[in-house]
Amino acid sequence: MLLNLISDKFIPVISPIGVDSKGDSLNINADIVASEIAAVLKCEKLIFMTDTDGVMKKNKLIPNVSIGEISKLIKNKTITGGMIPKIESAKLAIKKNVKSAHIINGTSPHSLLLEVFTEKGIGTAITLK
């Protein structure tokens, strides 16, 4: 269905709501939903926009993180709070063959363009290695 909408020039807006066996509505983490959709659509990049610059260590941006480093960064409390679901979702997408995931500050002017069209980028890129 998503591919049909996209080919018809629509931009799908997806609300991550599920239903349990009793018919009750469930709020599903949007980061996980985005990762699963990116994997199914065989996307090259997945970009998470948030209000922080990316993964930070001592107030300094970590520009690149491999999925092998993620557990260590969570264990040593470099990655905490709301960044954990984003980084874990990025890891999930990478494991499902999305080539890279990026966490960027969507409140910064032109952040998406700067991340995608510059060599250095402005956020944290998560990759396989």
In this prediction, residue 85 carries a pLDDT of 95
In this prediction, residue 76 carries a pLDDT of 97
In this prediction, residue 93 carries a pLDDT of 98
What is the number of domains present in the chain? Answer: 1
| Range(s) of the domain holding residue 89 | 2-127
Copy the structure tokens of residue 26: 């469930």
* Distance between CA atoms of residues 94 and 111, nearest Å: 22
* Distance between CA atoms of residues 126 and 93, nearest Å: 10
Confidence of residue 22 (pLDDT cuts 50, 70, 90): very high
In this prediction, residue 125 carries a pLDDT of 97
In this prediction, residue 97 carries a pLDDT of 96
- Work out the angle at residue 35's Cα, subtended by the Cα atoms of residues 10 and 32, and round it to the nearest 5 degrees: 110
Three-class DSSP category at 37: helix
* CATH code where residue 7 lies: 3.40.1160.10
Residue 100 near residue 126, CB atoms below 8 Å = yes
In this prediction, residue 40 carries a pLDDT of 94
In this prediction, residue 102 carries a pLDDT of 98
> Tell me: the pLDDT tens digits for 33-69?
999 999 999 999 999 999 999 999 999 999 999 999 9
> Tell me: the pLDDT tens digits for 72-108?
999 999 999 999 999 999 999 999 999 999 999 999 9
Amino acid at 88: E
